[in-house]
Amino acid sequence: RFGLAEKEDQIGVVTGLAYTSVGGELLSIEALRLPGKGRMKTTGKLGDVMKESIDAASSYVRSISPQLGIKPPQFERWDIHVHVPEGATPKDGPSAGLAMVTSIVSVLTQIPVRKDIAMTGEVTLRGNALAIGGLKEKLLAALRGGVKTVLIPQENEKDLPEIPDNVKQGLEIIPVSHVSEVLEHALVRKPEPVEWDEAAEEAAAAAAAAKAGGEAGSSATAH
């Protein structure tokens, strides 16, 4: 099944696009959410740059978590494992950043990812999409693998004239400049935001703690 688009919408499974000396390839990215302590585990013979891009994706997701319906303290109760099969093939580079964000958002929100979409693009800590290399090879691999829609960084729009017409006809190519657009296209439904007023939460927690302490104190002296 490798080298083909996914057969059904799945939670945490995203199709990325890799580019090697021998051409483009589909890259299946899998995230899993496990009961834990806020740790991030990565496997799949990933190079340092790809591991860092998972770190950046993870921090970005944490920074927008209320928009995803997740209160920040919940992060401390889960571990996330990101795996990129096939385990014996070395993978590296920052261009799976958008896919990493999508995969992590999907497992955290438990919203499936559309099965016939693929994506490529580096991501910044603010969720901006940065240009990638090997666009032609990646689009060819997407077409070959039965992908219908490909999200690419807006910064790569300048490379579209060099893409063969049959590729542009066979794929819906959507330039994006920010993760928000990626999630709109890739998730089967929109996450529901939750209110999170950090200052208010902190104040409430502090008040509760103070009250508990104070009462315990007054109890201790009163009876």
Q: Where are the alpha helices (DSSP H) in 30-71?
A: 48-63
Please, which residues have CB within 8 angstroms of residue 211's CB and are 6 or more apart in sequence?
none
Restricted to residues 142-181, the positions that interact with its own copies (CB under 8 A) are 155
Dihedral sign (CA 56, 146, 22, 86): positive
- Other beta carbons within 10 angstroms of residue 128's beta carbon come to 18
- Compute CA distances 124 → 30, 97, 134, 173, 222, whole Å: 20, 8, 20, 21, 57
3 is a contact residue toward its own copies (CB under 8 A): no
31 vs 176 by CB, closer to its own copies: 31
Binding mask 123-162 for Ca ion (x = CB under 5 A): -------xxx------------------------------
The minimum distance between CB 131 and its own copies, in angstroms, equals 8
Angle at 214 between CA 213 and CA 218, to 5 degrees: 120
- Cis check: omega of the bond before 201, within 30 degrees of 0: no
Clarify whether 177 is annotated catalytic.
no
Identified catalytic residue from 95, 136, 148, 219: 95
Please select the residue that binds its own copies; options are 86, 184, 192, 197, rule is CB under 8 A: 86
Clarify whether 28 is annotated catalytic.
no
163 is a contact residue toward Ca ion (CB under 5 A): no
- Other beta carbons within 10 angstroms of residue 219's beta carbon come to 9
45 vs 136 by CB, closer to its own copies: 45
**Separation between Cα atoms, residue 133 and residue 136, nearest integer Å:** 9
Identified catalytic residue from 138, 158, 168, 180: 138
Token duo for residue 132: 């990638």
3-state secondary structure of 56: helix
Binding residues vs its own copies (CB under 8 A)? 1-2, 10, 12-13, 28, 30-32, 34-35, 41, 43-45, 48-49, 52-53, 55-56, 59-60, 62-63, 72-73, 75, 81, 83, 85-88, 93-94, 97, 122, 124-126, 128, 130-131, 155, 198, 211-213, 215-221, 223
Positions marked active-site: 95, 138
- Rule CB under 5 A: which residues touch Ca ion? 86, 88, 122, 130-132
